[in-house]
Amino acid sequence: MLDPLPTWLAKGCSAELILLITNIVNTSMSTGTVPDSFKVAHVTPVLKKTSLDRNCLKNYRPISNLSFVSKVLEKTVLSRLMDYLTQENLLEPYQSAYKSGHSTETALNAVHNFITSKLDEDCFVLLVLLDLSSAFDTVNHSILLERLQSKYRLGGTVLSWFNSYITERYQQVKIEDVLSSPRPLVTGVPQGSVLGPVLFSLYLAELVILFGTMVFISIIMRMILNYFLLSIRICAKCFS
């Protein structure tokens, strides 16, 4: 059982539980540790599309169900993390995912404006779309922690907290009322978690340095744009 009481009941008794939950959150953040019970997920396989073959495991997305209090803890950490990244100007300028005032629509507008402006300058534009398969499951914990420390300057108790959060996690697959035995989660960030998508976005931010160009970040899709400062008219002569 993930929670000793249903989520709806916990929310209904929030006034009575708020002090206890606040103490749990503050203790976790001040000690840099995440309780082991918060690192167990019940994974429900969800078919990506109803038209896909139900007998093929690759067609399922593993959605993690986590305890209610653990999500409260994650939301608190996420709020402070995003405030820090914004104040220190550490977010990529063209990131739209998980960024206040941004969305997939702003990402598409930025891509459109970039392409049209470069075409007006007689430049070629190269657009590469990356749709990463099982992206959340491929995150290397050591690499993620190293990037949190070196690129985003997290250290001390904060880095210890994230180390505790992503390591020594376990998951159990739940189908209807049947629950599998626990299995360790040695890579990846949990789908269905609060922090998972943001950590994945920070994990892939090195693409900007790798390609040395503009990377528009929107959910799992990455749009990499490059342009060649070469006149179309000059290039056309090469084909004549």
Note down the domain range covering 206: 7-229
Q: How far is CA 140 from the centre of its chain?
A: 13
Count of CB atoms within 10 A of residue 77's CB?
21
In a domain, 83, yes or no: yes
pTM, two decimals, is 0.77
User: Residue 236: inside a domain, yes or no?
Assistant: no
Instruction: Indicate if the pLDDT at residue 32 is higher than 90.
Output: yes
Residue in this structure with the two tokens 């002090």, named with its chain if needed: 19
**Does residue 146 belong to any structural domain of this protein?**
yes
Number of domains in the chain: 1
Give the tens place of pLDDT for each residue, 82-121: 999 989 988 877 777 767 777 778 778 888 888 888 788 7
Q: Please tell me whether residue 83 adopts helix, strand or coil conformation.
A: helix
Is residue 239 situated within a structural domain?
no
Give strand ranges (E) for 48-140: 60-65, 124-131
Distances (CA, A) of 184 to 43, 137, 172: 12, 13, 9
Per-residue model confidence as pLDDT tens digits over 153-182: 999 999 999 999 999 999 999 888 889 999
